[in-house]
Amino acid sequence: MSASNTAAARNEAISYAAYGVLTSRFLKAVGGAESVSEFADVMDSLCHPLDVKTTEGDSPAALGNRIAAAVIAYGLADGSNQANGYASPEYKPVNPPMVVAQSGTVMVDPNRWQPLQLEHMISQNGIPVENGVQQAVGPHWGYVKGFAVPDAGDAGTPFDPGSPPRLGDPVTDQAYKDQAVEVIRDSSQLDAADGVLIDISPGVRGNNTLGANDGSGHPVNPATGQPYAPNVVNQGDYTRALTEFWADGPKSETPPGHWNVVANKVSDELDPNLKIGGTGPSVDRLQWDVKLYLALNGATHDAAIAAWGLKGHYDGVRPISMIRYMGGLGQSSDPALPSYHKAGLPLVPDLVELISAETTAAGQRHAALKGHEGDIAIKAWSGNPKDPKTETSGVAWILAVDWVPYQLPTFVTPAFQGYTSGHSTFSRAAAEVLTGFTGSQYVPGGLDEWTTEPGELKVESGPSAPVTLQWATYYDAADMAGQSRLYGGIHIVADDFNGRKAGSTCGIGAWALAQRYYAGQVGG
């Protein structure tokens, strides 16, 4: 392509390519007409006529249109079933839907995913869903063509860390129960009224090894040479703010979009000192952005394939089904006590308890559960308030069969399997790319943060005071994203830790392949 103004020609070609792809992808989506109209407005503001459809010749518009056509054609043949709305007609859930508004649940297999039935349902990215019963999203995604991941084979799993823990399995039965209890414990920490204060500074949190929460923070900020200042906050405010911030991102992006926002912020802070890999000469912003987006979105694309491949293959259960199912069976700790069942919840003092006449007596801890003697009570977040703008539910003793995660009542739990966590996989993949691309695991300045102000929570009123989430490294941020899903009640530890490991593999692989593209070692 020749042009008297190369920069302008590049911008024009990019605009037509982006417009073509975005219009194709969003035209049939919910709100598609509004989205396409906005895309057209952007093109109009750039003085690029929409009626230029040609793919012939060397004009910037023709080049952009050819690129768009190639991307669209690839997407139609990549195994995603885009032409049929990304449907997976072969998948059928083995468990009947759980009616969330009713106590308990019925499961054919407590190790397999169970759809939820809600009176009003809104998807993770805010789209109303007409049918109140969840339909599994993307169980075939392990077979989609990737960027750097290996072929998924017949199992549809490019990386396989093995099965999640299974109830009744001689080896992993206890892990299944323990990890369900861990979700209950996290749920019990969602109450600002308990007055517990914790330090969430990068000086004492983060710096974990891969697939663990074993870090004790960073001794100093490498950008300043000084220790990180303490950041003491109310625990219940922190857990709720963490859960809601990482739910979809600061402006309701799903995780890949959230990490693109993070990447853009990093780029703005580093500009004009933009050195790919942290070494060599600085490059202009366009070269930086194009190469960063290739690596970052190649990694998150692969992360989706890895995570959803495991979701489709193992069909992993979600915590709401685990806790309600086991809680409905009874307790598994002591055969000599009432309500014993080998598949019941383990009893944990002050967290998971057997209701008795003594504990429901006036003034006792289970008094509000009188009439349910012999059932299992858990200390957990007590459910959605009627007016989330002004009311806070807090933590209370509730029936295990009534437990719900800390989520909006129109959402409750995502419409796909639990194992592995998409947030954990996406986030670690993105963190690996940003670490490689910038040449440092540390964010610019050694510290990034986000403050949630009082009244900004959506699930219930709060926080009671401003909460500033902080992280020193991209890995710390990724780990926080994974941790948030346990406080939010929609994943267990196995989902999180194995998701982080798969994400790391995806990110490292994508960054390595992207560098080969930069060097002209791949492609025609």
Residue 377, helix vs strand vs coil:
strand
Strands 232-234 and 352-354: unpaired
Q: Is the pLDDT of residue 431 over 50?
A: yes
What does each C-alpha distance from 123 to 128, 252, 311, 414 come to in angstroms? 6, 11, 18, 7
Question: Of 27-31, 45-49, 234-238, which gets the smallest average pLDDT?
Answer: 27-31
What would the pLDDT profile of 273-307 be if each residue is shown by its tens digit? 999 999 999 999 999 999 999 999 999 999 999 99
Q: Is the pLDDT of residue 344 over 60?
A: yes
Q: What is the pLDDT of residue 132?
A: 85
Q: Is the pLDDT of residue 228 over 90?
A: yes
Confidence at 400, pLDDT banded by 50, 70, 90: very high
CA-closest candidate to residue 466, choices 448, 483, 454: 454
What would the pLDDT profile of 345-362 be if each residue is shown by its tens digit? 999 999 999 999 999 999
User: Rounded mean pLDDT of 6-18?
Assistant: 97
User: Rounded mean pLDDT of 47-62?
Assistant: 97
E-assigned strands of 170-236? 197-199, 232-234
Cα separation, 450 vs 217, whole angstroms: 18
Domain assignments of the chain as residue spans, ordered by start: 6-77, 141-315+419-444+477-519
Residue 445, helix vs strand vs coil:
helix
Q: What is the pLDDT of residue 31?
A: 85
Confidence at 1, pLDDT banded by 50, 70, 90: very low
Q: Is the pLDDT of residue 485 over 60?
A: yes
Residue 428, helix vs strand vs coil:
helix
A 10 A CB-CB count for 178 gives 15
Q: What is the pLDDT of residue 249?
A: 43
Cα separation, 492 vs 486, whole angstroms: 6
Q: Is the pLDDT of residue 478 over 80?
A: yes
Structure-token match 């190469």, residue found: 291
Confidence at 341, pLDDT banded by 50, 70, 90: very high
Render 350-371 in DSSP notation, one character per residue.
TTEEE--TTTTSTTSTTGGGTT
What would the pLDDT profile of 489-511 be if each residue is shown by its tens digit? 999 999 999 999 999 999 999 99
Cα separation, 441 vs 504, whole angstroms: 13
Q: Which residues of 345-381 are buried (b: 16+ CB within 10 A; e: fewer)?
A: bbbeeebbbbbbeebbeeeebbeebeeebebbbbbbb
Structure-token match 């940003």, residue found: 434
Residue 300 and residue 432 in contact, taking contact as beta carbons nearer than 8 Å? no
Architecture of domain 141-315+419-444+477-519: Up-down Bundle (1.20)
Percent with pLDDT over 90 in the chain: 93
Q: What is the pLDDT of residue 254?
A: 86
Strands 98-99 and 116-117: parallel
Q: Is the pLDDT of residue 369 over 70?
A: yes
Residue 204 and residue 194 in contact, taking contact as beta carbons nearer than 8 Å? no
